[in-house]
Structure formats: structure tokens, C-alpha cells
Structure 1
Amino acid sequence: MGSRDELHDELVNDILKLLEKLGRRTAHLEFELMRLRKSAKGRTSEQIDTSQLSLLLSLVSEADKPKVEADDESETVDPLEDLDKFEAKIDSDLEDADAEDIDEAAAAEGEAKKPSRRQRPPEHLPVEERVIDVERSQLEGCDDMGFIGYAESHTLDWRQGHFIHVHTKRAKYAPKSGDGPVVTAPCPPQVIVRGLAEPGLLAHVIVSKYADHLPLNRLVKIFARDGLDLTISTMVGWLRACASLLAPLHELLGQTVLASHVLQTDDTGVQVLDNKDPEGSKRGHLWGYLGDGKLAYFEYTPDWKADATREFLRAREGWIQADAYKGYDRVFNWPGSRAVEVGCWAHARRYFVEAKDGGDARAAVPLAVIKKMYKVERKAPRGIAVGRNNWQFAGNDASGRRKAIMYSLIRTCELNGVEPWAYLRDVLMRIADGWPQKRLAELLPQNWSPDAVASAA
């Protein structure tokens, strides 16, 4: 009997330990689920009508909608059947959702990071050799000079579909007498001084993130398959540098959009990490402007206050098509305003629908015309439908501003039939090489073509 009682007590203890373990796991998983839901949460009311400026907001119009359906190809795990597998899946989802932007937030706060180690491109990559000789002006006044070798550097570039190892060799000369300074050929223009990435690779990262909606943590994994040991923080640094170079173009594009014959505007929300907020994130906004159907301009604000958009639209003379958001009232009603308010089709259509429902058959004609227009708009790419499953929030306000810059240029490229990668690769290099400020308008997407810019240079 004693042994049976001992066995019974042992089993009871084992069961109690298991229940305690399950309780801890349940609490942990509930916490992780809360984080995941909070990161995916968006406003559920006043969603943007799909017919309203869908062409303008094709990149961001659905970023504020909550995820209510899982990907058809995603794996479904029953937490009651396999707790370990369920927990692993949640961890994976959270990693995909926020690895990149948490890294951005940490970098913004100045958290200590391991110093980056400059790597040499993998040996299997095709090599493009670039030899630069000294200029004659560098040798003027020097004694009889002799070639003594090269100053060499190794960088990474991207051509459509593959990486390139760029091997730069700068010729060095020294006086044959052995007495005097060494003269070295100048460095070629670089988007990021002493950086690893050439313009093609920088453009590839920008397009992958902002046009193809791939988070940087996934790009790291993709690049690793080609033998590249790049980090998220490295690519965040690249994006910062590129956004800084492209900021004057973004500002000029905004001024051009403001002068359009017809200006349309709308906004959408973006969750932004904020450690000062009790919930860990806040709701920023991207304000989108479409000029004459060809020019797209986005502006980021850390909240939904209309101060920024009112300031932007204050100088507007002419039509502004907008929704009924009250923040626009001060744009149209302030003394001296020359802006003319124009309603959106969604409101006009509603009256025809009411007439049709009331038995007026004449309403069918305008409804058919409006339907055709909506059909054209629905063909516009809805990139955010993919993007919202890949990035859930911006890492900080600076990240939101970068999104506005990149979305503006990429979307305007698409509206004008310009290939974004080719455009960004060329423009980044030209700006880094000292493109004249007075000719900046030539580099706007709607004005750019590689041949035209090259011939004007």
C-alpha cells in the first residue's frame, strides 16, 4: 500500500507541475498574442473607400486595416495540440512583423551596437574592375614620377538579377628620386563615402522595401543565400543616407504637386513604435497628394492633426478634391484662401444610388459610367495588400518620414512609366556627384530619362 500511495503522490505532483507549466505558457502566449494583435491593430471605422483616390494611395491606403484573415498558405497550429510549435509560430510572426523596425527604433535611441566589420565581397561573384588613373593636373609641378601600384577597394553593386563585386584600383605615383609625396588617383563619386554599397545595390534595397514591401530582415535572409553577411542596421544606415540625399527632390516634388491643375488628397494611418506611449506605439499618418493624376507626394506626420496639411495647402490656388475630414475646413475657410473645395465621387454616387433605389431608372446611366471609372481604378496595383502582411509599423518618426520620401518618388515613377530601380540608381549617383541645385527639376521622375539627363549634363 505504501508504494501505491507514494506512486499516487508522485503522479499528483507531476500533474501539478505540468499544470503550473501550462499556466505559465498560457500567460506567456496570451501576452505575445496581445503584442501581435496590437501591432496589427488599425482603425476599423471610417476606412477609405476603395473608389476614393485608390490610384494615389495604392501603396498605403490599406495600411490601417486590421488583419482579419491569414495567408492561405500559412500554417495553422492548434495550441492545444502542440504548444511548442504554436509558440514558435508566434515568435516567427513577431520576428517578421517587427525585427526591422525595432532595430530602427533602437538605433534612433543610440543603443550600443557591435561595431560593423567591413567585409570583402564573396569570391563567387562576378568582378567588375574599375581602374582610375591620376589626372595630369595632379602631376603638374612634380618631379619625374613613376607608377608604384594601386590603392584598391572592394564594393558591392547590383545589376538586375545579380550582385557584382566592384574592384576599384586607383593608380599611385611617386617621385623616382624617392623624395616627395605620393600622388593617388581620386576616389570615384560615392553615394555613401567609404561605404560598401554602390548605387545599384542601394536602389535595389529601396525598391525592395518600399515598392515590393519586403522587410529588411527578409532581405538579410535573401542576401545571405548569395553569401552576403549584411545586417539590418547596415541597411537602415543606407536608407537614412539615401533619404537625406533625396529629401530636396521630395520637397521640390511637393511644390510641383501643389501647382497642379487638379489636386486630390487623402490620408491613411501608420502604427509607429513609441516607447513614451503607454501602449508602446502611436498612430502616425501619411498624407497623400495626387497632382493631375501623374504626380504623387506623401507627407508624414506623427499624429492626425491637420496642422501640417493645412500648412502645405495654404498656398494652393485652385481645386482640391478631398473627403469630409474637418481638418480641411480651415484650408478652404481661412481669410484669403484661394483653394476651391471639390467633393469626391463616393459622395456624388450616393445620390444616384438613392435615386435608383427610389425607382428613377435614369440613375442607371451615371451609375454605369462611374462603375467603369472604378473598374479602371481597381486595376491600379494594390501593393499594400502584400506590404501590410510584411511590415506592421514604422520604427520611429524618422522611419515614417523616409517612407514618405521613398513612396513619393517611387509612386511618381510608376505613374509616369519610369522604372524605379533605374531611376533611383541614376539619380542617387548624380546627386552624390554634385548635381547643380538649379537643375534639380530635371531629376524629378516625370522629367527624367537617362538619355535626356545624360545629354544635358
Structure 2
Amino acid sequence: MTTPPDLNNLNADQLRQLAAQLLSDAAEKDQTISRQSNQLHNQQLLNDKLKHELAILKRHHFGKSSEALNAHQASLLDELVDADIAAVEMERAGPVDSKPKPEKHQPKRSPLPPQLPRQEPDSTQCTCGCQLQRIGEDISEKLDYIPGTFTVERHIRGKWACKTCESLTQAPVPPQIIDKGIPTSGLLAHLLIAKYADHLPLYRQEKIFAQAGLAISRSTLAEWVGRCGVALQPLVDALREELLLHPVLHADETPVPMLAPGKKKTHCAYIWAYCSTSTAAVKAVVYDFAEIRAGANARTFLEGWQGKLVCDDYSGYKAGFNKGITEIGCMAHARRKFYDLHVANKSQIAEQALQLIQQLYDIEREAQKLTAEARKQLRQQRSTPILDSLHQWLMTHRQKVPNGSATAKAIDYSLKRWRALTRYCDDGAYRQ
């Protein structure tokens, strides 16, 4: 242990050297304390950020265990691949050759169960008025489905000869979605509704068919889905044209796992959803799939449209705002930032923001049954003062929170888009 010097025995120069040494040591310690304080502050910000992200991940069930693919999840991805492949093959096939070459080892279709009821429409009257005589017939069977019951719809195209006019008559082949396939339009409609509306995957539908004595493989069902997608494409195009006639649209994108054929691995693809407002005369929703999250996808879909777009802060929409599209910020996205913050660490600042935003939502509930003009007046009378108070509150608290924190990011999201978030008060046609 070093013994401190006796100041009474030091001369003036030694005292000055000692004072300088003490000042140097004090300055070095101050720098060390300041550096450690900054490190501690940054570490605290990082911990808050990680806690915030962890809370969001837990809430959305993005944990490690939920990311693993079980057998059923893998089969769902296989179904999508099979359906897509069938759709692509159908588009590439073009016109069907009248005399296709038989393929080697082509599997034979099993006959439909004989116990299922049959319907046999036919006509025996010639156009000239006399009775037709049957000289032969062609029979094809289509599998139909009435909820809870499978039936077989028989198309008997009788060949009729008329001795008077010496003519041969046979009814034309009824139009079908899948040429030479066994499913009727009713069965295909049930298949799609069960898969996409009722969330009944194809491997379960395969078992339902099997319980009825119908051995229809999952790959066949997937092929039917893909061919239906191609057949419905004109309807999708017409729905998009109708949607782009509306002055106000909502848009949002969401990630979906996409399976690469043969690799058994997924990568992130995206589905854009575009919909009309709830007050529109024609309510429509169109989903647009893309393998990557590029702004060009939104620009391509909205090409030529100039209206008001309700969306989040994704940069992919920004280019459209320079081409006549008016941005309307979605208050739900701004609110979600504070909601996630409150769930993560019970932030009082986030709770206060949620309370102010809740007042805006209460006003919107009152405005639901009003006309567009009355809704606009209500917003300007009651919502605008609350928005002014919320903006001032955000500005005040932004100066109190450190940069880079989750609270600062939540506040910055609203402040940077404030004009877009408050634009809904200028138009009663838009509904939050």
C-alpha cells in the first residue's frame, strides 16, 4: 500500500506536480465513469428493444417450436406446389390435340361406385317433329356433390337417326371446367370452399372422399385446384378492374412461407390484399401473390389508378404517391406500435397514447351509420381537437425519451406520417 506523501515536506514544484497528477487521475476517472455510463445506457436500450421484440414474437407465436414443419404442414405446402404446377401446365398446354398420343404406363381411372344415384337426362324428339330411333349412345359420368351426399351425374348423349330426313343427331358435350375429368362444377366449388373458406386441407378432404368409397388422391385434388385457378383468372381480372374504379382502397401485404419444389425448404413470399371500403356499393377484395416484397408489385397492380390509398409505412407504396395516389395513413398501424410497447413492458406512455387513440375509435363507431358528409362534419368537430392534443402529446414526450428506444420508434412512426394519419378527417367516404 502506497503511503501518501507528507505535504509539509514538499516544496512548491513538488506540490504543483502532485496537483497536476491528481487532476489527471480525476479526469481519467471521469472519462471512465462517463464511458461506463454510456455503455450501461446503451445496454439498457438494447435490453428494452430485445424485450419488446420478444414480446411481439411470443404474442404472434413465432417461437422456435412453431417454426418446425410437422407432417401435416409439409403436406399443405406440397398441396400448394401441386396446384401451382397443375395451373402452369394447363396454361402451357394450350389447345388440346384431338388425337393425343397415349402415354406409357398411364394409370387407369377407377369406375365410380355403382351404388351412387344416377341422373340420366335425355330427349327423344327430333327437330322435324318425328320420333327419333336410338342407334347407339356415348356415356360419360361426372362426380357431383351435394353437401353431405355424393352423387353421379350421368351425361347420356344418345345417337338418334331420323328415317324421314335421313339425319343423325347427338347432343353436344356439356361444357366442363376440366375436360374429360370426372368432377362437376358443384364438386369443384365445394373443394375450393372447403379448402380456402373452411380451411379444410386437401389431405383431410382426401380422407372424407375415402370414407365415401372414393379413392381420389391428394395430388389429383391439387390438380383440380390448380385448374380451377386458371379457369377463375378472368373473374379475378374483372374483379381487379371493378376494384380500380373505387376512389378509396385499402392495401396491405403479409408474408407467407413458399416451398421450393424438391427442396423441402421454404422462403418468404408475400400476398398483397387490396379491398374497397365498407361503404362502397360493390365490396371487393383481390389477393395478389408475389415471390418477393418489391414495390413494383403494388405499382403494377395499381397501374393507372389515382385515388386515396389506405396503407402502412411500407416504402413500396411511396412511388405511387408521386403519380397521383393520395396516401391515407392507417391509424391501426400507428396504434399497434404503442400496443406492442404496452404489452412488452407495461409502458405508461404507451398506455396514455392508447387511451387518446381509443377516443378516436369511439367517435368512428358513432360515425358508422352516418352519411359521408355527416361523417366528415363529425370528424372535424370532435376528432380534430383530439388529434391536435395527440400530436402535441407526442411532440412533448418525444423530447423526453432517448433516441433508439422502442418508445421513440413508436412515437416517430406517428409523427413522421402525421399528415397521412389525419387526412381521413378531410373525407367522409373513408372509414377507419
TM-score by length of 1: 0.53
> Which residue of structure 2 lines up, in the alignment, with residue 282 of structure 1?
267
In structure 2, the residue matched to 1:167 is: 154
Contact 2:87/2:229, CA 8 A, preserved across alignment? no
Q: What stretches of structure 2 of length at least 5 have no aligned partner?
A: 1-52, 90-102, 342-346, 366-432
Tell me if structure 1 keeps the 8 A contact 2:274–2:287.
Answer: yes
Change (3 A) 1:195 1:297: same
The count of corresponding residues between Structure 1 and Structure 2 is 289
Aligned to 2:294: 305
Please list the CA deviations of residues 48-70 of structure 1 after superposition, one character each: whole Å capped at 9, or x if unmatched.
Answer: 9x9xxxxxxxxxxx8xx647677
Kept in 2, the 8 Å contact 1:257–1:291? The answer is: yes
Shift in Å at residue 98 of structure 1?
A: 4.0
Question: How do residues 42-81 of structure 1 correspond to structure 2 at under 5 angstroms?
Answer: 66=62
Cα deviation, residue 215, structure 1: 2.0
Match of residue 140, structure 2, among 130, 150, 153? 153
Deviations 1:220-251 (A, max 9, x none): 11110001111223222322222222111101
Matched, 1:129 2:116: no
State whether residues 118 and 196 of structure 1, in contact with CA within 8 Å, keep that contact through their aligned partners in structure 2.
no
User: What are the residue-to-residue correspondences of 1:269-418 with 2, within 5 Å?
Assistant: 269-275=255-261, 280-293=265-278, 294-333=283-322, 337-347=323-333, 349=335, 357=348, 364=355, 366-370=357-361
Q: Distance in 2 between matches of 1:350 and 1:155?
A: 51
Q: Is 1:349–1:367's contact at 8 Å kept on the other side of the alignment? A: no
CA change 1:171–1:187 in 2 (3 A) is same
RMSD value, Cα? 4.3
- Which has the larger Rg? 2
8 Å contact 1:352–1:367 — kept in the other structure? no
The letter for the 2-side match of 1:312 is: F
Structure 1 Cα separation of the partners of residues 109 and 337 of structure 2: 64
State the alpha-carbon separation in 2 of the partners of residues 135 and 369 from structure 1.
72
> Which residue of 1 is the match for residue 410 of structure 2?
none
1:204 and 1:162, CA in 2 relative to 1: closer, same or farther beyond 3 A? Answer: same
Name the counterpart of 2:219: 233
TM-score (norm: length of structure 2): 0.56
Instruction: Summarize the Cα distance change of 1:373–1:222 in structure 2 as closer, same or farther, 3 Å threshold.
Output: farther
Aligned-pair identity (%): 30
The structure with the greater share of residues assigned to helix is: 2
Structure 2 counterpart of 1:370, one-letter code: Y
Task: Find the aligned partners of 1:263 and 1:46 in 2 and give their Cα distance.
Answer: 32
- The one-letter amino acid of 2:237's match is E
Q: 1:130 to 1:46 in 2, by over 3 A?
A: farther
Contact 1:258/1:291 (CA < 8 Å) preserved in 2? no
Structure 1: how far apart are the matches of 2:288 and 2:326?
21
Which stretch of structure 1 is more off in the superposition, 161-170 or 267-276? 267-276
- Could you tell me which of 173, 179, 186 is aligned with 1:200? 186
